[in-house]
Chain A
Amino acid sequence: MTVTERPADPLEPAPPELAGDDLRELWEDAPGLVGFFTTVDHKRIGIRYIYTAFVFFSLAGVSALAMRAQLASPNSGLISPGTYNGLMTMHGTTMIFLFNTPVLAGFGNFLLPLMLGARDMAFPRLNAFSYWVFLFGGMFMYSSFVVGHLPDGGWFGYVPLTSSTYSPGHNIDVWGLGIIFVGLSTTVGAINFIVSTFKLRAPGMTVNRLPVFVWSMLVFSFMVLFAVPAVTLAEVLLELDRLAGTAFFVPSLGGNVLLYQHLFWFWGHPEVYILFVPSIGMVSTIIPVMSRRRIAGYLWVVASLVAIGFISFGVWVHHMFATGLPPLAISLFSAVSLVIALPSGVQFFAWIATMWRGKVELAVPMLFCLGFLLIFLLGGITGVMVAVMPFDWQVHDSYFVVAHFHYVLNGAVVFPIFAAIWFWFPKMTGRALPERWGKVSFWVMFIGFNITFFPMHILGFLGMPRRVYTYNDGLGWNGLNVIVSVGSAIFGLGTLFTLAAVLIAARRKVPVPDDPWAADTLEWATTSPPPVYNFAAIPFVEGRHPLWDVERLRRARPGAEADVGLEVDGAVGRSTPVTSGIDTLPEGVLHIPAETWVPFLVALGLVTLLVAALVSALTVAVLGLGLAVGAATTWAWRTEADLR
């Protein structure tokens, strides 16, 4: 690609072809509630994903605190066994399906187009659709809470416990169908991330200039495409057994209960990394900014992300070491489970190397990143330990494993998410968070986290099994359980400080500069919050760190008007350029569809169908199906026009 005309003086202001106001008129959503339901703006959807996920996070947190209250003393009768099992099931299910995955999808949604220099995702309507499906799926799963029968088969719902023989109620159906439904949302989102990254990168953003966070979302998305089908099928077959009377998991009819475990963990282990990969993508974005230098070993960081993506599909059997599989098979999986530590090691030392030669600033996002490093290190070490199968035979399904996976799933995912909130909140809202509240929040969370989860390792060695609603007095577990319960309350309190900070920011309305951290990626090139169209002119990327490499790009925001940017073949209206996958040569433009009711209606139709089918309300089911199909057909019919 040749640049025919370069600005003589980059600082000289000049009116662009289309001023910000005209663009705004083209892009703005309808006001009020109509706009709320019809928007396809990736930023609104992304933020919506994040706060919805945090509502579910608080539900999961409350259930965790309730469980810890019950376990604070032996033989406690505070919570009935049935309720405890329900809380335990919904805590795990919520954290994995309704918090971690969607909150990462939310950040991906908000950030990806901005980082790519695009004006929206490749499929904006599909994006809205995946949010509505997630919201309805989550509400559907919690609807069993309202009628008093929580799903109580454990978050991995092993058969035959979850078969209709041992769990006759509809609560398991709600759980299984909910997982299938939420999986649809995740898959649709992943496809959107992949195609956006392939086709909507700003000219010049070649493969080796892709921000690490974008790489991580790409790996996340491909993992989703290959892993989610397994859990969807596990639940589909389970529901067929339960509702249609098939025999997949009925041993007396030739079925096999381990088939369910294989299917579940073929998704379940990659899922751990599906959550972890975007989290480390965030950390790899924040640490260099806070160290005022490029990330060390970009190539190795990216390579290890990709390697994690591949290797994670070869380790699922380490969740099944105790099921009596042949020794040779489990030795193989044991070896692969050890090998997956290597890319994480590379990643870790890249972060240390980055800080080693940098100028480190301990702002709140950086504190959360450091907390993540110290927690993930321990979780990684215990992860290597449980890959050693004789040791796993002892600690598997004990509190040691509960400690381990909270270090990696809570510590190494939730801490980066909090770092991300503190880092990108100013960009999302244009307002400053009160720094002091953040520091308090971090320290209380960090201390509370370790008080909660570290003693669990010891409880595991003392023989405390997972998922017990109570335990006998005199086993030597009492003291540690008190400490754990107190710690969980401290951890919960710590998260409230961040919530308070957000509320304070909402009230005080302290404005922030567009690029408060002096960061390198393109989202900081536009205003805070970004205008609906993201960029007045499409940025032209000349390096891996656009804003550090090309100082003048800093003024590509509409306030100062673009002085470096592209007019891409008519991409001036409600459209964004499409570029070729490898070298990002412009290929054409993608018209961004206007706001529409269609995604909301399709999702609404589908969830209606789901609920009606479950309560056998045939008419309503047909209405739901009709709504979904009807809306989807309009969607398909209009597609051609939008692709022109």
Chain B
Amino acid sequence: MTVVDLPLARSSERTRTTAWWGVAMVILTEGTVFAILLAAYFFLRAASKDWPPPGVKLPDLKTAVPASFLLWGSSLPIFAVEAAARRGRWGVVRAGLLVSWLMGATFVASTLKDFQALHFGWRDNAYGSIFYTIVGLHAMHLVVGLTMSLVVQAKSWLGRYSPARHASLEVFSLYWHFVDLVWLAVFPSLFLSVRWR
């Protein structure tokens, strides 16, 4: 036998699947998208005399703040889900995913409702254009995340996961944390920083 045999004791440490790495790279480039959009926001703002333009009423904080905390909070059940999946506690996984999904969906619904209440349109001026684009793009990411969650939830109900193998759940968790983190940068920039001057 001339093929070299190697002892392949699988590492007891948790290793990341290629899918996890792939999504991590997607997040890297998506994160750049949001970073550049925020840079564009501040560029337009620096180049304008008035920001927002005269006559534009700033978006309301009354629903935006609680909704934002709801979104950030939706990451907490996901942490529990990840731990539960590794231990094979599928009841916790299903419940956690559902709770998180409802929190995220509530946020999206509230964003859409806020859009209707805004006093400016996206064609009115560059402020409106960049505001709608950033918030809208983030909402689109949430919708993708919610869809992924549905697929993952279906898989967990159908018993397609095992404690060792649940790559799509890991991938979804990572993505969901990312989308929450993005809002941590977007919300202060778009909703709060315009108020400090």
Contacts and interface: CB of A to CB of B under 8 A. Distances in A.
**Is there a contact between chains A and B in the complex with CB atoms less than 8 Å apart?**
yes
A122 B25 CA distance: 13
A111 B96 CA distance: 44
A587 interface: yes
Nearest to B122: A246
Contact of B2 (A7, A187, A194): A7
B94 interface: no
19 contacts: A1-B6, A2-B7, A4-B4, A122-B22, A195-B18, A225-B29, A229-B29, A229-B36, A232-B33, A233-B40, A246-B129, A248-B129, A540-B4, A566-B6, A587-B10, A587-B15, A588-B10, A640-B155, A644-B165
A548 interface: no
Interface in A139-198: 187, 190-192, 194-195, 198
Contacts of B7: 2, 4
Interface stretch (B41-49, B77-85, B111-119): B41-49
Contacts of A233: 33, 36-37, 40
B4 A226 contact: no
A187 B126 CA distance: 28
Contact of A585 (B11, B19, B28): B11
Contact of B167 (A2, A566, A639): A639
A122 B53 CA distance: 49
Interface of A: 1-7, 10, 12, 14, 16-17, 122-123, 126, 187, 190-192, 194-195, 198-200, 203, 225-226, 228-230, 232-233, 237, 240-241, 244-248, 250, 253-256, 258-259, 262-263, 266, 537, 540, 562-569, 578, 580, 585-588, 590, 633, 636-637, 639-640, 643-644
A126 B148 CA distance: 18
Contact of B36 (A12, A266, A540): A266
Given A195-B21, A256-B43, A244 B122 contact: yes
Contacts of A266: 36
B18 A254 contact: no
A580 B15 CA distance: 8
B43 A259 contact: yes
B151 interface: yes
B2 A10 contact: yes
Contacts of A190: 25
A587 B11 contact: yes
A255 B44 contact: yes
Contacts of A259: 40, 43-44, 47
A567 B40 contact: no
A16 B2 CA distance: 8
A10 B2 CA distance: 7
A631 to B, nearest CB: 14
Contact of A253 (B1, B126, B167): B126
Given A187-B29, A246-B126, A569-B8, 20 more contacts: A4-B6, A5-B5, A195-B25, A225-B29, A225-B32, A229-B29, A246-B122, A248-B126, A255-B44, A255-B129, A256-B47, A259-B40, A259-B43, A537-B3, A564-B4, A580-B15, A587-B10, A633-B151, A639-B19, A640-B167
B55 to A, nearest CB: 12
B34 to A, nearest CB: 9
B158 to A, nearest CB: 10
A241 B128 CA distance: 12
B168 interface: yes
B167 A643 contact: yes
B2, B19, B165: residue with the most chain A Cβ atoms closer than 10 Å? B2
